[in-house]
Structure 1
Amino acid sequence: MRIENWDGDRIRERADGLAALLTDTVASGASVGFLAPLGHAEAVAWWRERADAVATGRLAVWAALDATDRVTGTVGLDFPGKPNSRHRAELVKLMVHRCARGQGLGRRLLTTAERSAAADGRTLLHLDTETGSPAERLYRSAGWTAAGTIPDYALSPAGEPRPTTLYYKRIGGRPED
C-alpha cells in the first residue's frame, strides 16, 4: 500500500474510488457522519465538495492505494481559520476499506497525518469517534488522550443515537515555544 497526499484536482479525478471507500465504510457500520444506505452518487458529491476545501488549504487529504491503484483508505486534517487556532487541526475521516483492515493501514494513515501536522507547525490534534468503536482502540494505542464522552452525539449508520468520545494529542511543543 502506498499513501499519497492529494490536491483538489486529484480528489475530483478519483471521486468514484473515494466514494466506493466511503460507501463501504458506512455499509460496514462505521460512524463517519452518514446514514445507511449511502448511495454512490451522494458519496461522490460529498468528496467533490471536499476537493474545494483542499484547494483552498482548509483541508488536507491522504489516500491509501493498493497494488491495483484502488483507494483503500483515507485520512484528513481540517485546519481552523481562526487566528487563535492555527496551532491545531482536527483529524477527520480516517477510513479503511473492509478488505484492507487488520493490516496496520489505519495506523499508517494516522501516523502520516500526525507527522504532516507536526511538520506544518501544528502542536495539537483533536478528533471525535464513536465510543467503543475499533477506531477508539486505535487512537488510544497511538497515544491519544480521551477528553470526555458526549452521550447521543451522533446517529449510527443504522440511525441509533450513539455516544462519541473526544480525543486529543500533543504532537510538538506548546504554541508559545
Structure 2
Amino acid sequence: MIENPRGRAGAAVIERLDAASFEEQLPALAAVLVDAVDDGASVGFLAGFDVPAATAWWRARSPAVGAGGLAVWVARDDGVVAGTISLAYADKPNQRHRADVLKLAVLRTHRGRGLARRLLAAAEHTAAATGVRLLMLDTETASAAESLYQRAGWHRYGIVPAMAADPSGVPRDCSFFYKTIAAAGR
C-alpha cells in the first residue's frame, strides 16, 4: 500500500510494508538502521552493529508484522529505500487505544528532504484510522529527532538521565513524548 499523507507531491513515496514486502525489504531496512547507528543515533544498538546483525534484528520482527502488531513503512527516494518508521500496537487489553512509534531513521544521504516528517505523518495517519488515540515514543534528548517531534506537535513529558547509551557506549538522557490524535473522519 502506498501512502502520501496530506496529498504532498514529491519524488519520494511512503509505503507501508505487508508481510511479503517486509521480507523482501530486509536488506534495505538493515542498511537504513546501520547507517543511523554509524551516524551516532541512539536507536538501541552499539558501534560495530553491522548489516547481518541488523537483518537478524528486523527478521525477528517478521511475526509481529505478519500478525498486524507491528506496522512498518519505508520511504523510497531516488529509487532506494531511504528511511523507515514502525508503529507497535499495544497488546494489553486495557491499552488498545495506544501505540508506540519506533525506529524512525533516514539515510544520511537523503536527509533534509522531509522524509522523516512524511514517515511520521504516515504512522500518525494510520494510527488514527485504526482507532489509536495515543502515540508514545522516546528519543535521545537534544537530538535532531527530538526537535522533529516537537515541531510535529508531540509533547515531552519527561527526561530520564543516562537512560540509554549512544552507539559509542556513552549514557545519554532520553526524552519521552506523547501525542493524542483524533479519530479519522471526525
Q: How does the TM-score come out when normalised to structure 1?
A: 0.95
What amino acid is aligned across from residue 21 of structure 1 in structure 2? V
Cα distance in 1 for partners of 2:21, 2:167 equals 28
Matched, 1:85 2:88: no
Match of residue 60, structure 1, among 64, 71, 74: 71
Cα distance in 1 for partners of 2:107, 2:78 equals 14
Aligned to 2:129: 119
What amino acid is aligned across from residue 127 of structure 2 in structure 1? A
Aligned to 1:71: 81
Q: Return the offset for 1:10.
A: 1.4
Structure 2 unpaired stretches of 5+: 1-11
What amino acid is aligned across from residue 95 of structure 1 in structure 2? A
Aligned to 1:8: 19
Q: Structure 1 segments of 4 or more deviating over 4 A?
A: none
Q: CA RMSD in A?
A: 0.9
Matched residue count: 172
Aligned to 1:172: 182
Aligned-pair identity in percent equals 51
Q: Is the contact made by 1:147 and 1:168 (CA closer than 8 Å) also made in structure 2?
A: yes
Alignment of 1:21-36 (within 5 A): 21-36=32-47
Structure 1 unpaired stretches of 5+: none
Cα distance in 1 for partners of 2:61, 2:20 equals 11
SS of alignment partner, residue 122 of structure 1: coil
Cα distance in 2 for partners of 1:153, 1:82 equals 25
SS of alignment partner, residue 54 of structure 1: helix
SS of alignment partner, residue 55 of structure 1: helix
